Chain A
Amino acid sequence: MSATAAAPALDAVWSAEDTTPAAIGDALRRLLAERHAESESYAPARALNLVAVVEREQRAEILASLERAGRHHPSRTVICGVQRGRRRLGALATMACEVPPPGGVAPCRERVELDVGEEHLPHLDTVVDPLLVTDLDTLVWSPSDHPGAMDSLMRLADAVLVDSSSHADFRQGLDRAASLSPAAHVVDLSWLRAAPWRERLAAAFDPPQWRGRLAQISAITVRHHPSSTASGALLLGWLADRLGWETEPLRESPAAGSAGASTLEGRARTGSGEVALRLDAAPGQEAPGLAGASIDTASGASLALDRGPGGLAARRRSAEGRESSWVVLGASRGEGGILGEGIRQALLRSPLYDPALEHARAMLG
């Protein structure tokens, strides 16, 4: 196999217990100068700043998540670990450079792990701002719930990374995403988990003989991991937006789904009739995200997509009753891959999310 994965990283480290943003900035410049003096092959990555606010004890877990994010590394990562009662600013700065290939360039990525106290949070922007690479987009992420810190950091944010499924109440997760949207581009991991499903539904209805059946859709069921109602709602919201449906709030089904799992159902009005909508929790699904989607049309044709190893298993039945099945190839990205995709999406701007979010919130009341 030809190796294109990043070569093992070489780290340079600086730390201080009672420090200032200016001192940390100096240290980063010095680390870069030292590496560059070793070899001109070392070059600082300059694509994106990532700022994350976490409980200090959660920091190792978040760093491990970022390591699993694959090749989508931010150029400069600032992790603010919140420690109760802390008053002084502590910092650990690391510069990780890939081993230079012969004649090639070795990107270097910088990470600053800050130790901050609750006292710092209302004005955390004044700590973080001097540490950002000027002119790069900044992605702000708060896996822990620190609304005060987030409010402070919003003035620095070009994009905000959220997971609308991470809230105990999925409605709150979607509302939170909507509240952030006017100030910055929202990258929602729950939306990204449904990306392959959007692409595959679009592909399934792309043959000209199937496009007309979009107007005949009579029922849709989306099955999802019990914690991923928001992903399911966003998929329905996207369909509603793209197909011009008027949605109404979904209700808990009186007849619970399989194994007593929750089910939401309702209807949407189309130009020619109604579509029955259903969100089914699938307790058997292990990974967050969607488990399946089924679409029926008024003519009797149907399409079902189910998650499986190596891709999505597709089954189609024509109006005449002819059935066919196949697998749509694609490797599972895993949660690390989803996070990496979230970081990559910070530099892109999907025009589809906001309208889908609006419909999803309307459906979930």
Chain B
Amino acid sequence: MTMTDTLAESSPAENPLAAGLERTPVAPTTLVIFGASGDLARRKLLPAVYNLAHEGALPERFNVIGMSRRELSDEEFRAQVGRAVEEHSRRPPDPHVLRLLLERASYVPGAFDDPDAFGRLAETLAARDEEAGTAFNPVFYLSTAPSFFEPIVEALGAHGLDRRPDADVRVVIEKPFGRDLASARALNAAVLRVFEERQVYRIDHYLGKETVQNMMVLRFANGIFEPLWNRQFIDHVQITAAEDIGIGTRAGYYDSAGALRDIVQSHLLQLLSILCMEPPVSLTAGPVRDEKAKVLRSMVPMLPEEVPGRAVRARYGPGFSGGLPAAGYLEEEGVPEDSRTETFVAARLDVQNWRWSGVPFYLRAGKRLTRQATEIAVTLKPVPHLAFQEGDASGVRPNQLILSVQPNEGVSLSLVTKIPGAKSRVRPVNMEFLYGTSFLSQSPEAYERLILDTMRGDPTLFARNDEVEAAWAVVDPILSSWGGDGGPIPTYPAGTAGPREADALLEPGVGWRPL
């Protein structure tokens, strides 16, 4: 132990007791959830807060305030939080911890365009500080319909809730952040008129998943990959986000968004940017987000005439799922008869930089497909010469590195090996690493990690304004093309792998990975 680590020679700005702890202290925080009675809060946010409390990971001083239009008393809100935790927590709640957490929960009813409601919120925040004799860091979590993002941010500014001399104020904004490039720019401008960029946390829960975070570790902590990670050795990349479910009760949101906005613009382009980024100087927020943004800016937007040949949309028709009949998208409850929303999208994108020029990136996302699978498949170029007898080499396949995000988190590498026997016949086998079998710890829910990061003030796993706009710039030409006439929308039967039209995007000899 060197003396520089101890109090004797440390500056007063350091806390010597925090050094080396697995869980470092988090400043006192009041989490304000706008849209607290909504589905996301009920299913994800409130259970995540409970699990952080269960593990002792919340700040030692903590409050949660719910705000939404519904008229609820504090008691009614607490009962609602309790039910959400009971129904959706990943572990059975400890009654003592839950009771104490609920004691810290309060509720402010009001419409998001009602100035009085924000006045009451300000009073509630001040009262919490006063009771505790300390200034809590407010974290404003916007878990509302996107149309409320701007009014809420403006109201926070108008009531002086955007900055505090004695505390750090942060705002978390759920996706979708805009519905095209112009609206994303307008929303960024509106948000940044009130908050500084360092205060803004644009959340994409994919980035809280262990496998996604592990992509950087895999690339930058293992010498085996980096020499291969370029156009010389990689033939193509497929990024897939397949769901076996339909739209459920989300018709209102989904029909206004579609697969391109809902999945590709946010989740898949974030995955692509991490996969393709240059090694950052450090794995901290600034350098990581700089490198991700450079990748997104390297993706030259398609010209209008290129869209039909490089992007395919479709929607599911009637079919079968889990052995039972499944309705088509247009028959789903709440979907307009004349809807032109896509439930499937596939696209070929290119990253035009020194490392990736010429490598096709095939992205695919859809609902009511054969099964749930989110993965990145990196296919290496084939070996230059096969010295096997004809027939013996029929099992040779290019190596593939598969990064599975869900439902099975892990990494697998396909290798060609000899089949036991007198002949030299070969076939691919997989080397597998699975989170479920290789670690003793259970992965926390993505929202637990991300909520804790907002309270810690670490924006590494959140999208910066320029990243969001660069991602919209990539998909905007496709949206524009489809927003016009766009032609007929192909249909695929529910429970299948998607439309055949998607095959036309691939280079000759390349097929979509089986789902």
Contact = CB atoms under 8 A, between A and B. Distances in A.
Asked if A and B are interacting partners, one says: yes
Nearest to A136: B438
Contacts of B88: 1-2
B15 A206 contact: yes
Interface stretch (A38-46, A56-64, A115-123): A38-46
Interface stretch (A152-160, A183-191, A223-231, A343-351): A343-351
Contacts of B438: 45-47
Contacts of A132: none
A208 B18 CA distance: 13
Interface in B13-28: 13-28
Contact of B96 (A200, A214, A309): A309
Given A1-B87, A2-B88, A310 B441 contact: no
A324 B132 contact: yes
A329 B25 contact: no
Contacts of A45: 436-438
A21 B408 CA distance: 34
A242 interface: yes
A331 B51 CA distance: 10
Contacts of A2: 87-90
Interface string A193-211: 0011011111111111001
B134 A242 contact: no
Nearest to A344: B440
B372 A206 contact: no
A211 B15 contact: yes
Contacts of B100: 310-311, 327, 329
Contact of B6 (A4, A212, A244, A328): A244
A327 B96 CA distance: 11
Contact of A329 (B6, B20, B62, B91): B62
Given A211-B15, A311-B100, A329-B101, A203 B25 contact: yes
A195 B442 CA distance: 19
A105 B437 contact: yes
Interface residues of B, number: 62
Contacts of B55: 330-331
A242 B91 CA distance: 35
A298 to B, nearest CB: 15
B97 A311 contact: yes
Interface string A1-45: 110110000000000000000000000000000000000000111
A232 B197 CA distance: 45
Contacts of A261: none
B58 interface: yes
B3 interface: yes
Contacts of A5: 91
Residue among A201, A241, A311 with the highest chain B CB neighbour number at 10 A: A311
B24 to A, nearest CB: 7
A214 B7 contact: yes
A331 B54 contact: yes
A290 B10 CA distance: 29
B441 A72 contact: yes
A271 interface: yes
Interface string A102-145: 01110100000000000000000000000000000000000000
A105 B434 contact: yes
Given A43-B432, A47-B439, A314-B60, A198 B91 contact: no
Contacts of B56: 196, 199, 311, 328-331
Given A310-B99, A329-B100, A331-B96, A206 B91 contact: no
Contacts of B97: 310-311, 329-331
B441 A344 contact: yes
A284 interface: no
Given A196-B56, A207-B27, A310 B21 contact: no
Nearest to A323: B133
B21 A202 contact: yes
B19 A326 contact: no
B70 interface: no
A71 B62 contact: no
B8 interface: yes
B408 to A, nearest CB: 5
Nearest to B98: A310
B420 interface: no
A100 to B, nearest CB: 11
A208 B5 CA distance: 18
A350 B20 contact: yes
Nearest to B441: A344
18 contacts: A2-B90, A4-B91, A43-B437, A45-B436, A71-B442, A104-B407, A202-B25, A207-B134, A211-B13, A212-B12, A214-B17, A242-B6, A243-B7, A243-B16, A244-B6, A271-B8, A324-B132, A352-B20
> 10 shortest A-B CB distances, which residue pairs?
A330-B56, A310-B96, A244-B6, A202-B17, A203-B25, A206-B25, A309-B96, A244-B8, A331-B94, A329-B53
Interface of A: 1-2, 4-5, 43-48, 71-75, 101, 103-105, 107, 195-196, 198-208, 211-212, 214-215, 239, 241-244, 271, 309-311, 314, 322, 324, 326-332, 343-344, 347-348, 350-352, 355
Given A2-B89, A71-B441, A331-B94, 12 more contacts: A1-B92, A43-B432, A72-B441, A75-B437, A195-B22, A196-B56, A203-B59, A206-B27, A241-B1, A271-B7, A329-B58, A330-B54
